Structure 1
Amino acid sequence: MAEAPWIGEPEVAGNESFPAHLRQLGGEWPCVPFGTTEIDPHHHGFGTDNEWHVIERSAEAITLAIDYPKSHPIRRLERRIEGVRGDATVSLELTAEARTDCILPVGLHPIFKLAGEGRRMQLDPGAFARGYTFPKVFEPGASRLKPAAEFARLDAVPLTGEGAIDLSSPPAGLGEEILLLAGVPGCTCLTYPDNGYRVELSWNAGDFPSLVIWLSNHGRSASPWSNRFRGIGIEPVRAFFDDTALAPHRPSSLSPGRAFSAGERWTTKYRISASSLNASKHEGFAK
Protein backbone atom coordinates (compact mmCIF):
# COMPACT_ATOMS: atom_id res chain seq x y z
CA MET A 1 0.00 0.00 0.00
CA ALA A 2 1.09 3.60 -0.56
CA GLU A 3 2.00 5.87 2.34
CA ALA A 4 2.53 9.62 2.23
CA PRO A 5 6.16 10.68 2.79
CA TRP A 6 5.00 13.39 5.21
CA ILE A 7 3.57 10.97 7.79
CA GLY A 8 5.25 11.81 11.09
CA GLU A 9 6.65 15.14 9.99
CA PRO A 10 6.01 17.51 12.95
CA GLU A 11 4.86 20.39 10.78
CA VAL A 12 2.18 18.16 9.24
CA ALA A 13 1.27 15.95 12.21
CA GLY A 14 0.64 18.96 14.41
CA ASN A 15 -1.24 21.02 11.82
CA GLU A 16 -4.95 20.51 12.48
CA SER A 17 -5.86 22.59 9.44
CA PHE A 18 -5.10 19.39 7.51
CA PRO A 19 -7.79 16.71 7.95
CA ALA A 20 -6.64 13.67 9.90
CA HIS A 21 -6.81 11.32 6.92
CA LEU A 22 -4.52 13.64 4.93
CA ARG A 23 -1.98 13.84 7.76
CA GLN A 24 -1.78 10.02 7.72
CA LEU A 25 -2.61 9.37 4.08
CA GLY A 26 -2.16 5.80 2.90
CA GLY A 27 -3.37 2.25 3.30
CA GLU A 28 -7.09 1.50 3.04
CA TRP A 29 -10.26 2.74 4.70
CA PRO A 30 -14.05 2.75 4.21
CA CYS A 31 -15.91 5.91 3.15
CA VAL A 32 -19.47 6.32 4.46
CA PRO A 33 -20.43 8.62 2.90
CA PHE A 34 -17.98 8.65 0.01
CA GLY A 35 -16.56 12.01 -1.02
CA THR A 36 -17.95 15.43 -0.21
CA THR A 37 -21.60 15.62 0.83
CA GLU A 38 -23.89 18.19 2.41
CA ILE A 39 -24.71 15.93 5.37
CA ASP A 40 -21.12 15.34 6.53
CA PRO A 41 -18.35 17.96 6.79
CA HIS A 42 -15.62 15.32 6.47
CA HIS A 43 -14.46 14.44 2.97
CA HIS A 44 -15.10 10.70 2.74
CA GLY A 45 -17.18 10.68 5.93
CA PHE A 46 -16.93 11.06 9.70
CA GLY A 47 -15.16 7.71 10.05
CA THR A 48 -12.29 8.97 7.89
CA ASP A 49 -11.07 11.66 10.31
CA ASN A 50 -12.04 10.37 13.75
CA GLU A 51 -10.81 7.66 16.11
CA TRP A 52 -12.20 4.15 16.04
CA HIS A 53 -12.24 1.88 19.10
CA VAL A 54 -11.30 -1.78 19.36
CA ILE A 55 -14.12 -4.24 19.96
CA GLU A 56 -12.13 -7.46 19.71
CA ARG A 57 -8.65 -8.53 18.69
CA SER A 58 -6.61 -11.68 18.28
CA ALA A 59 -3.32 -12.64 16.68
CA GLU A 60 -5.00 -12.88 13.27
CA ALA A 61 -7.88 -10.38 13.33
CA ILE A 62 -9.16 -7.12 14.75
CA THR A 63 -12.67 -5.68 14.91
CA LEU A 64 -13.07 -1.90 15.16
CA ALA A 65 -16.05 0.44 15.46
CA ILE A 66 -16.88 4.13 15.40
CA ASP A 67 -20.10 5.81 16.56
CA TYR A 68 -21.27 8.67 14.37
CA PRO A 69 -22.75 11.95 15.74
CA LYS A 70 -26.42 11.79 16.73
CA SER A 71 -27.34 14.17 13.93
CA HIS A 72 -25.88 11.85 11.28
CA PRO A 73 -28.09 9.45 9.27
CA ILE A 74 -25.51 6.71 9.96
CA ARG A 75 -25.37 5.49 13.56
CA ARG A 76 -22.25 3.33 13.51
CA LEU A 77 -19.59 1.68 11.39
CA GLU A 78 -17.83 -1.56 12.23
CA ARG A 79 -15.00 -3.22 10.36
CA ARG A 80 -13.22 -6.53 10.74
CA ILE A 81 -9.72 -7.03 9.34
CA GLU A 82 -8.40 -10.59 9.27
CA GLY A 83 -5.36 -12.30 7.86
CA VAL A 84 -6.00 -15.52 5.95
CA ARG A 85 -3.85 -18.30 7.39
CA GLY A 86 -1.42 -19.75 4.87
CA ASP A 87 -2.12 -17.09 2.24
CA ALA A 88 -0.92 -13.56 1.46
CA THR A 89 -4.46 -12.23 1.83
CA VAL A 90 -6.30 -9.81 4.07
CA SER A 91 -10.05 -10.35 4.39
CA LEU A 92 -12.09 -7.25 5.28
CA GLU A 93 -15.68 -6.75 6.34
CA LEU A 94 -17.55 -3.45 6.71
CA THR A 95 -20.91 -3.01 8.46
CA ALA A 96 -22.84 0.26 8.39
CA GLU A 97 -25.82 0.74 10.69
CA ALA A 98 -28.32 3.40 9.60
CA ARG A 99 -30.07 5.77 12.00
CA THR A 100 -32.59 7.11 9.47
CA ASP A 101 -33.76 6.40 5.95
CA CYS A 102 -31.24 7.91 3.56
CA ILE A 103 -29.45 7.57 0.23
CA LEU A 104 -25.69 7.97 0.63
CA PRO A 105 -22.73 7.50 -1.70
CA VAL A 106 -20.52 4.76 -0.27
CA GLY A 107 -17.11 3.43 -1.18
CA LEU A 108 -13.80 1.83 -0.22
CA HIS A 109 -10.48 3.66 -0.49
CA PRO A 110 -7.40 1.45 -0.92
CA ILE A 111 -4.31 3.31 -2.16
CA PHE A 112 -1.68 1.11 -3.76
CA LYS A 113 1.92 1.92 -4.59
CA LEU A 114 2.89 3.03 -8.05
CA ALA A 115 5.84 1.14 -9.46
CA GLY A 116 9.22 2.72 -8.84
CA GLU A 117 10.60 5.19 -11.35
CA GLY A 118 11.55 3.34 -14.54
CA ARG A 119 9.65 0.19 -13.53
CA ARG A 120 6.57 -1.21 -15.23
CA MET A 121 3.07 -1.54 -13.85
CA GLN A 122 -0.09 -3.03 -15.33
CA LEU A 123 -3.67 -2.22 -14.30
CA ASP A 124 -6.47 -4.65 -15.15
CA PRO A 125 -9.96 -3.77 -13.83
CA GLY A 126 -11.62 -6.42 -16.00
CA ALA A 127 -14.34 -5.69 -18.53
CA PHE A 128 -16.42 -2.59 -17.77
CA ALA A 129 -19.52 -1.08 -19.34
CA ARG A 130 -18.37 2.54 -19.72
CA GLY A 131 -15.66 4.89 -18.54
CA TYR A 132 -15.96 8.57 -17.55
CA THR A 133 -13.37 11.26 -16.94
CA PHE A 134 -13.90 13.91 -14.26
CA PRO A 135 -16.59 16.44 -15.26
CA LYS A 136 -14.11 19.34 -14.99
CA VAL A 137 -10.34 19.82 -14.83
CA PHE A 138 -9.36 17.73 -11.81
CA GLU A 139 -6.10 19.43 -10.80
CA PRO A 140 -5.50 22.69 -12.68
CA GLY A 141 -2.00 22.83 -14.12
CA ALA A 142 -1.43 19.09 -13.69
CA SER A 143 -4.37 17.11 -15.13
CA ARG A 144 -4.24 16.15 -18.81
CA LEU A 145 -7.33 14.01 -19.35
CA LYS A 146 -10.17 15.58 -21.31
CA PRO A 147 -12.92 16.61 -18.84
CA ALA A 148 -16.43 15.13 -19.14
CA ALA A 149 -15.35 12.55 -21.70
CA GLU A 150 -16.58 8.98 -22.11
CA PHE A 151 -14.47 6.03 -23.19
CA ALA A 152 -14.81 2.29 -23.73
CA ARG A 153 -11.20 1.14 -23.25
CA LEU A 154 -8.66 1.87 -20.55
CA ASP A 155 -5.88 1.93 -23.13
CA ALA A 156 -7.58 4.79 -25.02
CA VAL A 157 -8.63 7.47 -22.52
CA PRO A 158 -9.14 10.89 -24.20
CA LEU A 159 -6.66 13.68 -23.58
CA THR A 160 -7.39 17.40 -23.60
CA GLY A 161 -6.95 18.61 -27.16
CA GLU A 162 -6.30 15.59 -29.32
CA GLY A 163 -5.28 12.01 -28.82
CA ALA A 164 -5.66 9.44 -26.05
CA ILE A 165 -3.47 7.76 -23.47
CA ASP A 166 -3.02 4.19 -22.23
CA LEU A 167 -3.97 4.01 -18.55
CA SER A 168 -3.62 0.23 -18.42
CA SER A 169 0.07 0.96 -17.74
CA PRO A 170 0.03 3.77 -15.17
CA PRO A 171 1.24 6.41 -14.55
CA ALA A 172 1.60 6.74 -18.35
CA GLY A 173 3.16 10.18 -18.06
CA LEU A 174 0.25 11.59 -16.04
CA GLY A 175 0.51 13.57 -12.81
CA GLU A 176 -2.93 13.90 -11.21
CA GLU A 177 -6.10 12.34 -12.61
CA ILE A 178 -9.35 10.71 -11.58
CA LEU A 179 -11.75 8.62 -13.64
CA LEU A 180 -14.72 6.32 -13.08
CA LEU A 181 -15.48 2.93 -14.59
CA ALA A 182 -19.11 1.82 -14.50
CA GLY A 183 -20.33 -1.77 -14.62
CA VAL A 184 -17.16 -3.36 -13.26
CA PRO A 185 -16.89 -7.09 -12.38
CA GLY A 186 -15.66 -6.64 -8.80
CA CYS A 187 -12.00 -7.52 -9.19
CA THR A 188 -8.97 -5.40 -10.12
CA CYS A 189 -5.43 -6.65 -10.54
CA LEU A 190 -2.23 -4.58 -10.30
CA THR A 191 0.85 -6.31 -11.67
CA TYR A 192 4.42 -5.18 -10.99
CA PRO A 193 6.42 -7.31 -13.46
CA ASP A 194 9.81 -5.77 -12.60
CA ASN A 195 9.18 -6.44 -8.91
CA GLY A 196 7.87 -9.96 -9.49
CA TYR A 197 4.42 -9.74 -7.88
CA ARG A 198 0.80 -8.81 -8.38
CA VAL A 199 -1.87 -7.46 -6.03
CA GLU A 200 -5.58 -8.15 -6.36
CA LEU A 201 -8.54 -6.31 -4.86
CA SER A 202 -11.87 -8.14 -4.99
CA TRP A 203 -15.30 -6.99 -3.78
CA ASN A 204 -19.03 -7.53 -4.24
CA ALA A 205 -19.95 -5.76 -7.49
CA GLY A 206 -23.58 -5.71 -6.39
CA ASP A 207 -22.57 -3.46 -3.49
CA PHE A 208 -20.09 -1.35 -5.46
CA PRO A 209 -20.92 -1.41 -9.21
CA SER A 210 -18.43 1.32 -10.17
CA LEU A 211 -14.72 1.91 -9.67
CA VAL A 212 -13.01 5.25 -9.11
CA ILE A 213 -9.35 5.27 -10.15
CA TRP A 214 -7.30 8.09 -8.61
CA LEU A 215 -3.80 8.51 -9.98
CA SER A 216 -1.40 10.77 -8.08
CA ASN A 217 2.14 10.95 -9.42
CA HIS A 218 3.88 14.04 -7.97
CA GLY A 219 0.88 15.98 -9.30
CA ARG A 220 -0.28 18.06 -6.32
CA SER A 221 1.82 21.05 -5.32
CA ALA A 222 -0.11 22.41 -2.29
CA SER A 223 1.10 21.59 1.22
CA PRO A 224 1.56 18.91 2.48
CA TRP A 225 1.64 17.28 -0.98
CA SER A 226 4.47 19.47 -2.34
CA ASN A 227 4.69 17.18 -5.41
CA ARG A 228 5.89 14.33 -3.19
CA PHE A 229 3.05 11.81 -3.21
CA ARG A 230 2.82 8.77 -5.50
CA GLY A 231 -0.04 6.31 -5.33
CA ILE A 232 -3.02 4.89 -7.16
CA GLY A 233 -6.42 4.70 -5.51
CA ILE A 234 -8.50 1.71 -6.63
CA GLU A 235 -11.83 2.66 -5.07
CA PRO A 236 -14.99 0.53 -5.44
CA VAL A 237 -18.00 2.82 -5.12
CA ARG A 238 -21.72 3.25 -5.39
CA ALA A 239 -21.35 6.93 -6.22
CA PHE A 240 -20.50 9.35 -9.03
CA PHE A 241 -16.94 10.47 -8.34
CA ASP A 242 -16.28 12.05 -4.93
CA ASP A 243 -18.61 15.04 -4.63
CA THR A 244 -22.41 15.02 -4.63
CA ALA A 245 -22.27 18.50 -6.20
CA LEU A 246 -21.31 16.66 -9.40
CA ALA A 247 -24.70 14.89 -9.49
CA PRO A 248 -26.00 17.03 -12.40
CA HIS A 249 -23.23 15.50 -14.56
CA ARG A 250 -24.18 11.94 -13.61
CA PRO A 251 -25.50 9.68 -16.39
CA SER A 252 -29.00 8.49 -15.50
CA SER A 253 -27.81 4.87 -15.57
CA LEU A 254 -25.42 5.42 -12.63
CA SER A 255 -26.56 5.12 -9.02
CA PRO A 256 -26.00 8.21 -6.81
CA GLY A 257 -25.63 6.05 -3.70
CA ARG A 258 -27.05 3.27 -1.56
CA ALA A 259 -30.55 3.45 -0.08
CA PHE A 260 -30.43 2.73 3.67
CA SER A 261 -33.47 2.02 5.86
CA ALA A 262 -33.60 3.18 9.48
CA GLY A 263 -32.15 0.48 11.74
CA GLU A 264 -30.65 -1.49 8.86
CA ARG A 265 -27.24 -3.14 9.28
CA TRP A 266 -25.60 -3.47 5.88
CA THR A 267 -22.49 -5.62 5.56
CA THR A 268 -20.09 -5.91 2.65
CA LYS A 269 -16.96 -8.03 2.33
CA TYR A 270 -13.79 -7.57 0.26
CA ARG A 271 -10.23 -8.93 0.04
CA ILE A 272 -6.73 -7.72 -0.78
CA SER A 273 -4.22 -10.39 -1.78
CA ALA A 274 -0.69 -10.60 -3.15
CA SER A 275 0.91 -13.32 -5.24
CA SER A 276 4.32 -13.93 -6.73
CA LEU A 277 4.91 -14.01 -10.47
CA ASN A 278 7.70 -16.48 -9.78
CA ALA A 279 7.31 -18.24 -6.42
CA SER A 280 10.82 -19.72 -6.55
CA LYS A 281 12.38 -16.24 -6.68
CA HIS A 282 9.91 -14.44 -4.42
CA GLU A 283 9.32 -16.60 -1.38
CA GLY A 284 7.33 -13.99 0.55
CA PHE A 285 4.14 -14.28 -1.52
CA ALA A 286 1.60 -17.03 -1.86
CA LYS A 287 1.10 -18.74 -5.22
Structure 2
Amino acid sequence: MKLKDKVCIVTGSASGIGRAIAARYVGEGARVAIADLKREVSDATAADLTASGPGEAIGLAMDVTSEDAVNAGVAAVVEKWGRVDVLVSNAGVQIVHKIEDFPFEDWKKMLSIHLDGAFLTTKACMPHMKRQGGGALIYMGSVHSHEASPLKSAYVTAKHGLLGLARVVAKEGGPHGVRSNVICPGFVKTPLVEKQIPEQAKALGISEEEVVKRVMLGGTVDTEFTTIEDVAEVALFLAGFETNALTGQSLMVSHGWGMR
Protein backbone atom coordinates (compact mmCIF):
# COMPACT_ATOMS: atom_id res chain seq x y z
CA MET A 1 0.00 0.00 0.00
CA LYS A 2 1.48 3.29 -1.16
CA LEU A 3 0.29 5.46 1.74
CA LYS A 4 0.20 3.01 4.64
CA ASP A 5 -0.10 4.95 7.92
CA LYS A 6 0.47 8.31 6.20
CA VAL A 7 -1.60 11.10 7.78
CA CYS A 8 -3.53 13.14 5.22
CA ILE A 9 -5.86 16.14 5.40
CA VAL A 10 -8.19 16.67 2.44
CA THR A 11 -10.32 19.82 2.46
CA GLY A 12 -13.73 19.88 0.81
CA SER A 13 -13.72 16.09 0.92
CA ALA A 14 -17.24 15.20 2.00
CA SER A 15 -18.21 14.95 -1.68
CA GLY A 16 -16.99 15.23 -5.25
CA ILE A 17 -13.30 15.26 -6.14
CA GLY A 18 -12.23 15.61 -2.52
CA ARG A 19 -14.13 12.52 -1.48
CA ALA A 20 -12.67 10.52 -4.37
CA ILE A 21 -9.16 11.52 -3.30
CA ALA A 22 -9.87 10.67 0.34
CA ALA A 23 -11.29 7.30 -0.69
CA ARG A 24 -8.24 6.55 -2.81
CA TYR A 25 -5.94 7.44 0.09
CA VAL A 26 -7.88 5.28 2.56
CA GLY A 27 -7.71 2.45 0.03
CA GLU A 28 -3.93 2.77 0.11
CA GLY A 29 -3.79 2.51 3.90
CA ALA A 30 -3.72 6.19 4.85
CA ARG A 31 -5.24 7.93 7.84
CA VAL A 32 -7.38 10.69 6.38
CA ALA A 33 -9.07 13.71 7.91
CA ILE A 34 -12.26 14.62 6.02
CA ALA A 35 -12.32 18.40 6.40
CA ASP A 36 -15.55 20.07 5.32
CA LEU A 37 -17.93 22.74 6.49
CA LYS A 38 -20.46 20.53 8.30
CA ARG A 39 -19.18 18.10 10.91
CA GLU A 40 -22.08 15.68 10.56
CA VAL A 41 -21.45 15.35 6.83
CA SER A 42 -17.71 14.92 7.36
CA ASP A 43 -18.33 12.29 10.02
CA ALA A 44 -20.69 10.36 7.75
CA THR A 45 -18.16 10.36 4.90
CA ALA A 46 -15.39 9.31 7.28
CA ALA A 47 -17.48 6.42 8.58
CA ASP A 48 -18.22 5.21 5.05
CA LEU A 49 -14.56 5.32 4.03
CA THR A 50 -13.34 3.67 7.22
CA ALA A 51 -15.79 0.84 6.68
CA SER A 52 -14.25 0.20 3.26
CA GLY A 53 -10.68 0.22 4.69
CA PRO A 54 -7.90 -0.68 4.89
CA GLY A 55 -7.01 2.79 6.14
CA GLU A 56 -9.21 4.96 8.33
CA ALA A 57 -10.81 8.39 8.31
CA ILE A 58 -12.12 10.96 10.78
CA GLY A 59 -14.41 13.93 10.23
CA LEU A 60 -13.49 17.57 10.84
CA ALA A 61 -15.56 20.74 10.68
CA MET A 62 -13.38 23.25 8.84
CA ASP A 63 -14.15 26.58 7.22
CA VAL A 64 -10.94 27.09 5.25
CA THR A 65 -11.41 30.87 5.25
CA SER A 66 -11.18 30.96 9.07
CA GLU A 67 -7.67 30.88 10.52
CA ASP A 68 -8.99 29.71 13.88
CA ALA A 69 -10.97 26.86 12.31
CA VAL A 70 -8.03 25.75 10.17
CA ASN A 71 -5.57 25.86 13.06
CA ALA A 72 -7.95 23.95 15.33
CA GLY A 73 -8.56 21.28 12.69
CA VAL A 74 -4.88 20.71 11.97
CA ALA A 75 -4.13 20.64 15.70
CA ALA A 76 -6.82 17.99 16.20
CA VAL A 77 -5.27 15.80 13.50
CA VAL A 78 -1.79 16.13 15.02
CA GLU A 79 -3.16 15.40 18.49
CA LYS A 80 -4.81 12.21 17.23
CA TRP A 81 -2.18 10.89 14.81
CA GLY A 82 1.00 12.81 15.70
CA ARG A 83 1.88 14.25 12.30
CA VAL A 84 0.70 15.53 8.90
CA ASP A 85 2.21 13.92 5.81
CA VAL A 86 -0.13 15.15 3.06
CA LEU A 87 -2.38 18.17 2.65
CA VAL A 88 -4.77 18.33 -0.29
CA SER A 89 -6.20 21.85 -0.52
CA ASN A 90 -9.31 21.05 -2.51
CA ALA A 91 -12.15 23.15 -1.07
CA GLY A 92 -13.67 25.42 -3.69
CA VAL A 93 -16.79 26.92 -5.21
CA GLN A 94 -17.73 28.35 -8.59
CA ILE A 95 -19.62 31.57 -9.34
CA VAL A 96 -19.93 32.82 -12.93
CA HIS A 97 -20.77 36.34 -14.15
CA LYS A 98 -19.60 38.74 -16.82
CA ILE A 99 -16.96 40.89 -15.21
CA GLU A 100 -19.08 44.05 -15.29
CA ASP A 101 -21.85 42.17 -13.48
CA PHE A 102 -19.63 40.34 -10.98
CA PRO A 103 -20.67 41.29 -7.42
CA PHE A 104 -17.64 42.33 -5.41
CA GLU A 105 -18.77 40.19 -2.49
CA ASP A 106 -18.80 37.13 -4.74
CA TRP A 107 -15.36 38.04 -6.06
CA LYS A 108 -14.00 38.23 -2.51
CA LYS A 109 -15.75 34.99 -1.53
CA MET A 110 -14.20 33.12 -4.45
CA LEU A 111 -10.67 34.35 -3.75
CA SER A 112 -11.04 33.72 -0.03
CA ILE A 113 -12.11 30.09 -0.37
CA HIS A 114 -9.59 29.17 -3.06
CA LEU A 115 -6.57 31.30 -2.09
CA ASP A 116 -6.99 32.12 1.60
CA GLY A 117 -7.96 28.49 2.18
CA ALA A 118 -4.82 27.21 0.47
CA PHE A 119 -2.64 29.71 2.32
CA LEU A 120 -4.12 29.08 5.77
CA THR A 121 -4.01 25.29 5.53
CA THR A 122 -0.45 25.44 4.20
CA LYS A 123 0.60 27.78 6.99
CA ALA A 124 -0.87 25.44 9.59
CA CYS A 125 0.63 22.23 8.14
CA MET A 126 4.08 23.46 7.12
CA PRO A 127 5.64 23.57 10.61
CA HIS A 128 4.65 19.95 11.27
CA MET A 129 6.01 18.82 7.91
CA LYS A 130 9.31 20.66 8.42
CA ARG A 131 9.70 19.23 11.91
CA GLN A 132 9.15 15.65 10.75
CA GLY A 133 11.43 16.06 7.74
CA GLY A 134 9.02 16.02 4.82
CA GLY A 135 5.52 16.15 3.43
CA ALA A 136 3.41 16.80 0.36
CA LEU A 137 1.25 19.86 -0.25
CA ILE A 138 -1.17 19.37 -3.12
CA TYR A 139 -3.34 22.20 -4.45
CA MET A 140 -6.43 21.70 -6.57
CA GLY A 141 -5.92 24.03 -9.47
CA SER A 142 -7.54 23.72 -12.87
CA VAL A 143 -6.76 24.00 -16.54
CA HIS A 144 -7.91 27.53 -15.69
CA SER A 145 -4.65 27.86 -13.75
CA HIS A 146 -3.17 28.30 -17.25
CA GLU A 147 -6.11 29.18 -19.49
CA ALA A 148 -8.97 31.69 -19.37
CA SER A 149 -12.68 31.40 -20.10
CA PRO A 150 -15.46 33.98 -20.24
CA LEU A 151 -17.52 34.55 -17.07
CA LYS A 152 -14.82 33.17 -14.75
CA SER A 153 -12.71 36.17 -13.78
CA ALA A 154 -12.57 35.31 -10.07
CA TYR A 155 -12.06 31.57 -10.60
CA VAL A 156 -9.32 32.03 -13.19
CA THR A 157 -7.58 34.61 -11.00
CA ALA A 158 -7.71 32.29 -7.99
CA LYS A 159 -6.49 29.24 -9.90
CA HIS A 160 -3.63 31.20 -11.44
CA GLY A 161 -2.72 32.35 -7.93
CA LEU A 162 -2.33 28.78 -6.70
CA LEU A 163 0.56 28.28 -9.12
CA GLY A 164 2.45 31.14 -7.51
CA LEU A 165 1.75 29.89 -4.00
CA ALA A 166 2.87 26.36 -4.85
CA ARG A 167 6.11 27.59 -6.38
CA VAL A 168 7.00 29.71 -3.35
CA VAL A 169 6.14 26.84 -1.02
CA ALA A 170 8.35 24.52 -3.10
CA LYS A 171 11.28 26.93 -2.63
CA GLU A 172 10.69 27.33 1.10
CA GLY A 173 9.87 23.69 1.76
CA GLY A 174 12.51 22.06 -0.42
CA PRO A 175 15.37 22.13 2.11
CA HIS A 176 13.06 20.36 4.57
CA GLY A 177 11.77 17.69 2.18
CA VAL A 178 8.39 19.39 1.76
CA ARG A 179 7.05 19.26 -1.80
CA SER A 180 4.21 21.25 -3.35
CA ASN A 181 2.41 20.65 -6.62
CA VAL A 182 -0.82 21.66 -8.34
CA ILE A 183 -3.32 19.32 -9.98
CA CYS A 184 -5.02 20.99 -12.94
CA PRO A 185 -8.16 19.07 -13.95
CA GLY A 186 -10.25 19.83 -16.98
CA PHE A 187 -14.02 19.78 -16.63
CA VAL A 188 -15.07 17.10 -14.16
CA LYS A 189 -18.79 16.35 -14.12
CA THR A 190 -19.45 17.12 -10.47
CA PRO A 191 -22.45 19.06 -9.12
CA LEU A 192 -20.22 22.17 -9.30
CA VAL A 193 -19.84 21.77 -13.07
CA GLU A 194 -23.41 20.62 -13.68
CA LYS A 195 -24.59 23.83 -12.02
CA GLN A 196 -22.54 25.86 -14.49
CA ILE A 197 -24.14 24.38 -17.60
CA PRO A 198 -27.49 26.23 -17.42
CA GLU A 199 -25.80 29.31 -15.96
CA GLN A 200 -23.39 29.57 -18.87
CA ALA A 201 -26.09 28.77 -21.42
CA LYS A 202 -28.11 31.70 -20.13
CA ALA A 203 -25.17 34.09 -19.89
CA LEU A 204 -23.77 33.18 -23.33
CA GLY A 205 -27.12 32.85 -25.10
CA ILE A 206 -26.47 29.31 -26.32
CA SER A 207 -27.97 25.90 -25.60
CA GLU A 208 -26.84 23.69 -22.73
CA GLU A 209 -25.68 21.14 -25.29
CA GLU A 210 -23.45 23.77 -26.88
CA VAL A 211 -22.01 24.67 -23.48
CA VAL A 212 -20.95 21.06 -22.96
CA LYS A 213 -19.70 20.29 -26.47
CA ARG A 214 -18.15 23.62 -27.39
CA VAL A 215 -17.30 25.52 -24.21
CA MET A 216 -16.45 22.71 -21.80
CA LEU A 217 -15.16 19.90 -24.00
CA GLY A 218 -14.32 21.63 -27.26
CA GLY A 219 -10.61 21.75 -26.45
CA THR A 220 -10.24 18.09 -25.52
CA VAL A 221 -8.96 15.36 -27.82
CA ASP A 222 -12.03 13.15 -27.37
CA THR A 223 -14.89 15.35 -26.03
CA GLU A 224 -14.80 13.43 -22.75
CA PHE A 225 -15.18 14.74 -19.21
CA THR A 226 -12.32 14.10 -16.81
CA THR A 227 -13.48 11.81 -13.99
CA ILE A 228 -13.05 12.17 -10.25
CA GLU A 229 -11.16 8.88 -10.35
CA ASP A 230 -8.69 10.36 -12.86
CA VAL A 231 -7.96 13.23 -10.48
CA ALA A 232 -7.70 10.91 -7.47
CA GLU A 233 -5.06 8.82 -9.24
CA VAL A 234 -2.91 11.90 -9.82
CA ALA A 235 -3.40 12.96 -6.20
CA LEU A 236 -2.19 9.51 -5.12
CA PHE A 237 0.84 9.77 -7.38
CA LEU A 238 1.82 13.18 -5.97
CA ALA A 239 1.27 12.10 -2.37
CA GLY A 240 3.51 9.08 -2.86
CA PHE A 241 6.31 10.81 -4.80
CA GLU A 242 8.74 11.46 -1.97
CA THR A 243 11.63 13.44 -3.45
CA ASN A 244 12.15 17.01 -4.58
CA ALA A 245 12.51 15.77 -8.16
CA LEU A 246 8.83 16.64 -8.54
CA THR A 247 7.96 19.90 -6.82
CA GLY A 248 6.65 23.32 -7.83
CA GLN A 249 4.90 21.78 -10.83
CA SER A 250 1.38 21.64 -12.25
CA LEU A 251 -0.05 18.49 -13.81
CA MET A 252 -2.88 18.73 -16.35
CA VAL A 253 -5.59 16.06 -16.10
CA SER A 254 -7.81 17.24 -18.92
CA HIS A 255 -8.11 14.90 -21.93
CA GLY A 256 -5.63 17.08 -23.77
CA TRP A 257 -7.27 20.45 -23.14
CA GLY A 258 -4.56 23.05 -22.52
CA MET A 259 -1.57 20.96 -23.52
CA ARG A 260 1.83 22.16 -22.28
Fold agreement, TM-score > 0.5: no
Higher relative contact order (CA 8 A, sep 6+): 1
Question: Comparing both structures, which one devotes a greater share of its residues to strand?
Answer: 1
Q: Which structure: larger Rg?
A: 1
Question: Comparing both structures, which one devotes a greater share of its residues to helix?
Answer: 2
TM superposition score normalised by structure 1:
0.28
